[in-house]
Structure 1
Amino acid sequence: MKENTISEVERMVITRIFEAPRKLVWKAWTDPKYVMQWWGPKGFTAPVCKMDFRVGGKFLWCMKGPDGEVVGWNGGEYFEIVEHEKIVYSMYFADAEGNKLDPAQYGIELEAMDDAHDVVLFEDFGDGQTKLTLIGSEPMESARNSGQLEGWNEIFDKVAAVVAGLAQAK
């Protein structure tokens, strides 16, 4: 059986327009105090957010469910950072120390593509707006079936609220 490659499978892609300049959207995405406000789908919180935001740096985020119980940890590494334009990173399930775990330990089957990284693009979208595009490492069909697509859309809703708060404070 032939394995799918990135060029043969549609990756998960989510695009959102934010009513704020790119610099503010970037800040919301890259500053741990703001990431803690949006990481996790609706009803979830992120009580821990450690980020060494540089190429080769790592991150570790904790997610708690609506009941206050820790649902899991996500770790990752940054591979490319172009300020206010692009972030390329890996993301994986982790323990509280950042050690990589098999998603099956959380009862999750992921179909992430080998050597594929998530990419976040930040683009000006006229009149002070920013277009944010997330290109995930999971195939779109798998992302739909696993709830990843829905979860990321809920995260983007939370990012929009953080960005709106930053824009008002400016």
Structure 2
Amino acid sequence: MTTPSPGTTIEADPDVPTVRIVREFDAPRELVYRAHVEPELVKQWLGPHSIGMDIDVWDIRTGGEYRYTATRDGEEIAHFYGSVHRVNPNEKIVQTFGFEEMPDAVSLDTLVFHELPGGRTRLEALSVVYDFESRAGMLASGMEVGVNEGYDALDALLARLTGAEQ
């Protein structure tokens, strides 16, 4: 499965219960990485436009953890959490991703930040889940909307941070 969106590819492997997401950004790798690890930046882009985020814990370092609540119109609608297994600053984050409302769909996620010519970055994310049923639940939960809208918001945030926004 490939989801068309400006610059975002989402692929579900037919043979292995994985989801691969690729997106390029017009910003340096260090800045794209910062937008993933600094909670005040993460809150500005992660997830669909219609959902807010209350961060309880955001400790993105080897051995760290995170927990946040998605909100809509002031109401809690979902709870996310994970353990951070490995961080190579500006290069890679390996973490688990859990969704309390779908406890069997925990994934192991690897995010790799590739430096491209011209101060650009390609982010590749690979999520591995236990079985195809868990992956189907992940995909059915609105993940595609959250990824696409979130990355659009990240584009805008990066443009503001680099001064490229007109």
* TM-score computed with the length of structure 1 as normaliser: 0.75
Larger relative strand fraction: 2
1:77 to 53, 64, 83: 83
| Contact 2:79–2:101 (CA under 8 A) maintained in structure 1 | no
What corresponds to 1:40 in structure 2?
47
What corresponds to 2:5 in structure 1?
none
* 2-structure distance, mates of 1:49, 1:16: 27
| Contact 2:84–2:94 (CA under 8 A) maintained in structure 1 | yes
Q: Which amino acid aligns with 2:38?
A: D
What corresponds to 2:4 in structure 1?
none
| Contact 1:42–1:155 (CA under 8 A) maintained in structure 2 | yes
What corresponds to 1:107 in structure 2?
none
Structure 1 residues 20 and 146: alpha-carbon distance in aligned structure 2, compared to 1, 3 A threshold: same
Residues 1-170 of structure 1: pairs in structure 2 closer than 5 A: 8-9=15-16, 11-65=18-72, 67-93=73-99, 101=100, 103=102, 111-112=105-106, 116-138=107-129, 142=136, 143-168=138-163
CA offsets 1:18-50 (integer angstroms, 9 cap, x no match): 111001101111101101112221211113252
C-alpha deviation, 1:141, in angstroms: 6.5
Structure 1 residues 32 and 163: alpha-carbon distance in aligned structure 2, compared to 1, 3 A threshold: same
C-alpha deviation, 1:162, in angstroms: 1.7
* TM-score computed with the length of structure 2 as normaliser: 0.77
Gaps of 5+ in 2: 1-12
Q: Which amino acid aligns with 2:150?
A: I
C-alpha deviation, 1:74, in angstroms: 1.0
Q: Alignment RMSD, CA only?
A: 2.5
* 1-structure distance, mates of 2:74, 2:111: 29
C-alpha deviation, 1:134, in angstroms: 1.5
* 2-structure distance, mates of 1:92, 1:15: 21
Q: Which amino acid aligns with 1:78?
A: V
Gaps of 5+ in 1: 1-5, 94-100, 105-109
* 1-structure distance, mates of 2:125, 2:159: 19
- State the identity %: 30
